[in-house]
Amino acid sequence: MNMIILQDIAYFVLLVGLSIPLGIYMYKVMDGQKVFLSRAVAPVENGIYKIMGVKGNEEMSAKKYALSALVFSAVGLFFVWLIQMLQGVLPFNPASIEGTSWHLAFNTAASFVSNTNWQAYSGEAGLSYLTQFLGLTVQNFVSAATGIAVLFALIRGFILRQKATIGSFWTDLTRITLYVLIPLSFVLALVLVSQGVVQTFAPYREVAMLESRAAQTIPLGPAASQIAIKQLGTNGGGFFGVNSAFPLENATTLSNLLECLSLLLIPAALCVSFGKAVKDSKQGKSIYIAMMILFVAALGITTISEQYRGPVFEGIVTSGSMEGKEVIHGIGASSLWATATTAVSNGSVNSMHDSFTPLGGMIPMFLMQLGEIVFGGVGSGLYGMIAFVLLTVFIAGLMVGRTPEYLGKKVEPYDMKMVCLIVLAPLMCTLLSTAAAVMVPEVDSWLTNSGAHGFSEILYAFSSMGNNNGSAFAGFNANTVFTNVVGGIIMLLARFIPMAAAIFLAGNMSKKKAVAVSEGTLSTTNTMFVGLLIGVILIVGALSFLPALALGPIADYFTMR
């Protein structure tokens, strides 16, 4: 256990140390300032604007911004949908994989466009190289960039005073992709390749197994480039079916550490960017701390449960719950990854969550159900968190006898409507789709387990899709018409309702003038506020999901004892 604690501490030191400079860098990029990459990237950037026919400094209203983001995503959705169904006749298909079913293609398209990366397919068996790099990898970049763009639009809403615009979607999208995502992924992909992660267009290889000499197919492909952005952009869709539990996707302890760091890196750094952008670093810091506290608490529970609540065999000193975990990573790194991948809306795995202890599996599920705001998706996590901040500000602000305000902007009915939409959409999607699923007559045939754990498997799957995480519990057969269609729809709703609400919130905030700060203003940077924020998040989460969890992991826990 001591080793695990040391390992976790090292992880946090690296994470915080890296997130601060990256956060400042991202703020500069999004503020349009010159950065060290400007000389190399600016010509490319201007070239892209020319081709797209947009002016670099065009200012958009909230409506136009939202429309641009939605249309852009819709085009992506249909493109990825089509490319999968047609992959059988398209090039870069050495394994001669056929086109997928319409519903699986829809589910996957919705999944990647919404930055969920839920996978009802297995990469090496279901998709061609072309689909992987032109369809999915591209969406890995742009769906992440879209989330960050919308976050900065919202931040501008707080900074601007009495303005009708919130920046340009095309500029935001282009700058994030060119200055942040591509360079970071490039570096990470190179390092991963150095560790043994594959990157090739060569066809799958037949090899003879060492002991039995039987033939085995080793799947290959342009993996490293997709894995880098999969980790960095809170995507999580593995190149291979078992994701980062597969040696060619996650080869060594170092690659595991780097992949695990990249899970949280950008979402954490965005807190720093936020503070910089609103010219009050403390604001970013208090959100960062709130997220960190929730994360550390979750990590603690998962790790302890895995270490001490594993199965007990007579005569054997328990070594914790190792089922479903890779020996190279062990309990510590597996618990850390499981917590991190569900805290942020990544969903990639290096162990199988279905095999976790009941509480160890409940925490990742609960982190998703909180609405993917404990770091959450890149951009989307922080704008979701800001919605919770506004909710907290609203209740706490009333108690000090003033109309609630945040960053100098009053919180009024329109804003509350948007905030409530952001909070409500994922929650409704999750609960309603789970309820629909358990009413399907053949639901039992999709499950590996029965009883409370069976319910957990369903709840986990729809929590994952309903909160744009994409993590799979395993043990649940997802490739059915029902799950593909319903899952695809809720992934889109859970992504784009809050996104549109965040953009319109930005537009409304931008119109307002700023209120002066005084002694009577509620502080949003002190310990009290951080505590309240955590309280509101946990209460909303617990009130919404406690009954369901009681029938799943909690019942599981008590029946197993």
Nearest to 335 by CA among 373, 294, 372, 306: 306
Task: Choose the binding region for another protein from 163-171, 346-354, 362-370, 524-532 (rule: CB under 8 A).
Answer: 524-532
* 368 touches 103 (CB < 8 A): no
> Does 397 participate in binding another protein (rule CB under 8 A)?
yes
- In angstroms and rounded to an integer, the radius of gyration of the C-alpha atoms of the chain is 23
Please give the C-alpha separations between residue 312 and each of 55, 81, 561, in angstroms, as whole numbers. Answer: 65, 47, 11
Min CB(298)–another protein separation in Å: 19
Identity of the residue, 151 or 423, whose beta carbon is nearer to another protein in the bound complex: 423
Site for another protein in 146-185 (CB under 8 A): none
Min CB(482)–another protein separation in Å: 14
> Does 548 participate in binding another protein (rule CB under 8 A)?
yes
Min CB(402)–another protein separation in Å: 5
> Does 521 participate in binding another protein (rule CB under 8 A)?
yes
- Candidate residues 205, 398, 448, 481; the one interacting with another protein per rule CB under 8 A: 398
- Candidate residues 343, 396, 491, 505; the one interacting with another protein per rule CB under 8 A: 396
Q: Torsion-angle region of residue 375: left (phi > 0), alpha (psi -120 to 50) or beta?
A: left
Q: How far apart are CA 539 and CA 146, in angstroms?
A: 30
Min CB(486)–another protein separation in Å: 14
Q: How far apart are CA 474 and CA 352, in angstroms?
A: 7
Identity of the residue, 201 or 558, whose beta carbon is nearer to another protein in the bound complex: 558
Nearest to 462 by CA among 441, 440, 486, 442: 486
> Does 285 participate in binding another protein (rule CB under 8 A)?
no
Task: Choose the binding region for another protein from 70-78, 244-252, 293-301, 391-399 (rule: CB under 8 A).
Answer: 391-399
> Does 395 participate in binding another protein (rule CB under 8 A)?
yes
- Candidate residues 57, 194, 477, 526; the one interacting with another protein per rule CB under 8 A: 526
Residue 517: CA atoms inside 13 Å, Cβ hemisphere, count?
7
Identity of the residue, 134 or 515, whose beta carbon is nearer to another protein in the bound complex: 515
- CA 254 distance to own-chain centroid: 22
Min CB(454)–another protein separation in Å: 6
SS3 for 113-144 is HCCCCCCCCCHHHHCCHHHHHHHHHHHHHHHH
Identity of the residue, 71 or 435, whose beta carbon is nearer to another protein in the bound complex: 435
How many residues of this chain interact with another protein, rule: CB under 8 A? 64
- Candidate residues 209, 215, 312, 516; the one interacting with another protein per rule CB under 8 A: 516
Count of residues in the chain: 561
End-to-end CA distance of the chain: 23
> Does 420 participate in binding another protein (rule CB under 8 A)?
yes
Interface characters, 422-451, with another protein (x: CB under 8 A): -xx--xx--xx-xxx-xx---x------xx
Side chain identity at residue 340, one-letter code: A
Please give the C-alpha separations between residue 61 and each of 17, 163, 396, 501, 509, in angstroms, as whole numbers. Answer: 36, 9, 31, 14, 12
Min CB(443)–another protein separation in Å: 8
Q: How far apart are CA 348 and CA 233, in angstroms?
A: 11
Min CB(435)–another protein separation in Å: 4
Q: How far apart are CA 215 and CA 206, in angstroms?
A: 6
Site for another protein in 448-507 (CB under 8 A): 450-452, 454-455
Min CB(31)–another protein separation in Å: 23
Q: How far apart are CA 243 and CA 250, in angstroms?
A: 8
Maximum alpha-carbon separation in the chain: 77
Please give the C-alpha separations between residue 432 and each of 155, 251, 459, 486, in angstroms, as whole numbers. Answer: 32, 39, 11, 10
Min CB(528)–another protein separation in Å: 6
Task: Choose the binding region for another protein from 49-57, 168-176, 185-193, 519-527 (rule: CB under 8 A).
Answer: 519-527
> Does 403 participate in binding another protein (rule CB under 8 A)?
yes
> Does 544 participate in binding another protein (rule CB under 8 A)?
yes
The contacts of residue 29 (CB under 8 Å, 6+ apart) are: 35, 175, 176, 179, 180
Interface residues toward another protein, by CB under 8 A? 391, 394-403, 408, 411-413, 415-417, 420, 423-424, 427-428, 431-432, 434-436, 438-439, 443, 450-452, 454-455, 513-516, 518-523, 526, 528, 532, 539-540, 542-544, 546-548, 550-551, 554-555, 558-559, 561
